[in-house]
Amino acid sequence: MSALLSLADVEALPTPSFDWFGIAPPVILFATALVIILMVAYKHRLGLAPWLPLATTLVGIGIAAVYTVLSWGKVIDGGPYTTAGGLVDVDGMGIFFTAIVLICAAIGALVASDYLRRERLDQPEYFALMLCSASGMALMATAADLITVFLSLEILSIALYVLAAYRSSEEPSQEAGLKYFLLGSVASAIFLYGIALIYGAVGSTNLRIISDTPVDNVLYLAGISLLIVGFAFKIAAVPFHMWTPDVYQGAPTPVVAFMASGAKVAAFAAMTRTIVFAMNYTRSDWQPILWVLAVASMLVGAVSALTQSNVKRMLAYSSIGHAGFILIGLQLSTGDGVAATMVYLLAYAVMVLGTFGALTYLSGPGDRDTSFEDMKGLARRQPMMAALVAFFLFAQAGIPPSSGFMAKFGVFKAAADSESYALVIIGVLVAVIAAFAYLRVIVAMYFQDGDEDSTLGRVPLGLRVGVWAAAIFTLVMGVLPQFVLDLADRASVIL
């Protein structure tokens, strides 16, 4: 090769150094997706065992998890580093968020496999799309350049658009897919325009250079606000939440489980990096915006959740409310605030996976029975599943002993430490209002009479494993939170 180059009298192009070890998780997830696509290609010639796509997915996620753990050890010992020509940051926070994404992908795949069989959508493509999306999420958690943020955002979103419209012959799913696609693309375009303006103001899209270049002109501030609009859309914060209820209601339930947890975690990770860290010196400009977003999301989420007649729609508003609580932690822009945000996102992701996972089973053949009417008398028909759903809903309401309580407590404590008392008071009041929305489901399940006989079959194995894992995690994190708190503290320090 070098002889050839000297023949042509060309200097070798300097290539950026790649630390493949550091960017292993997203690469492995994507490679697994490619393997599954290859399986599809050779399906007719070689045949395909029905369990193979799920097994491959889980193995891929497992290998990525091993690399994540090894990478954590390396960062703890040797400190954080930047690789791929400054496009990717391997640091504690990125690894922590990558781990959450892997949990989302694993439980999402477990929950989805039986659903796909039940709805006769049994195609391996589902897992390939999910892994693609997960690789985008993992990359987004470690992005160190606005271009990496944008590209990973698109990798995760485009796969999710397809997943939302996965039941391509059903009107709700089509509509959810189209709405998510149109509004998501607009948000991406606005986000990209924000990047362009910041590039114009700073002269670079690299987050480190941006944080080292104190600019405070109109171009820069306009860029920040456009970026915040783009992020607010992805995390479903009010007033950019309009798509959420429709998409959550219409999309297949296992897709919602994955989307509500993973996409929100990734978007918050990138938001922490870009807004809170890289643009910290313009804090006084964006803090009020995030304050308003947080309060509006909490209020609208809680109040609208009360009036819904569909459980998936109610949970959509509840996830809008959760975005508000998480934004409290970000808005503080302190180390404690970021650590609290990370703990909240971990707790939130697992709770939501569990709730929607259980709902995947309860929605029944056709994925239709998700109204409050259908929940009536569930405790008698499905005592175990009803108990799990009740537990997850209590956790989401923030009732101890559950991770939800720890998460809310951490965010409020961080806010009180930075003397943002107004946020704490509003947050606590809203949490009480939000609890009523969850209680409505529990009342319907336990204290109202419905059909006596269940049309649902046995709980499938994969779904049972996924939902129970989520439940146990939620309980253990609520009872013994110290381990997770320590991890988050260390991760938010190693930057």
Q: How many angstroms separate the CA atoms of 157 and 263, rounded?
A: 8
**Does position 367 bind another protein by CB under 8 A?**
no
Q: How many angstroms separate the CA atoms of 371 and 373, rounded?
A: 5
In the set 53, 60, 94, 245, which binds another protein (CB under 8 A)?
245
Q: How many angstroms separate the CA atoms of 72 and 66, rounded?
A: 10
Give the range of 45-53, 148-156, 336-344, 446-454 binding another protein by CB under 8 A. 148-156
> Considering beta carbons, is residue 368 or 413 the nearer one to another protein?
368
Rounded to 5°, the CA angle 95-211-285 comes to 105
In the set 106, 109, 143, 158, which binds another protein (CB under 8 A)?
158
The residue count for binding another protein (CB under 8 A) is 45
Calculate the alpha carbon distances from 94 to 194, 247, 362 in Å. 23, 28, 35
In the set 57, 83, 113, 188, which binds another protein (CB under 8 A)?
188
Q: Which amino acid is at 329?
A: G
Cβ–Cβ under 8 Å, residues 471 and 392: yes
CB atoms within 10 A of CB 475: 15
In the set 193, 277, 409, 468, which binds another protein (CB under 8 A)?
193
**Does position 182 bind another protein by CB under 8 A?**
yes
Helix H segments across 42-91? 43-46, 52-78
Pair of tokens at residue 254: 């296992």
Q: Which of residues 76-115 bind another protein (CB under 8 A)?
A: none
Q: How many angstroms separate the CA atoms of 339 and 487, rounded?
A: 9
Pair of tokens at residue 267: 């978007």
Q: How many angstroms separate the CA atoms of 87 and 46, rounded?
A: 40
Least distance from another protein to the Cβ atom of residue 172, Å = 5
Q: How many angstroms separate the CA atoms of 83 and 90, rounded?
A: 7
Site track 159-178 with another protein (rule: CB under 8 A), x = hit:
--xx--x--xx-xx-xxxxx
Q: Which amino acid is at 171?
A: E
**Does position 71 bind another protein by CB under 8 A?**
no
**Does position 151 bind another protein by CB under 8 A?**
yes
In the set 43, 306, 309, 365, which binds another protein (CB under 8 A)?
309
Least distance from another protein to the Cβ atom of residue 310, Å = 7
In the set 185, 211, 282, 448, which binds another protein (CB under 8 A)?
185
Residue 250: which of 186, 158, 316, 183 has the closest Cα? 316
Site track 5-34 with another protein (rule: CB under 8 A), x = hit:
------------------------------
Least distance from another protein to the Cβ atom of residue 473, Å = 31
Q: What are the residues binding another protein (CB under 8 A)?
A: 147, 150-151, 154, 158, 161-162, 165, 168-169, 171-172, 174-179, 181-182, 185-186, 188-190, 192-193, 195-197, 199-200, 203-205, 245-246, 249-250, 304, 307-310, 313
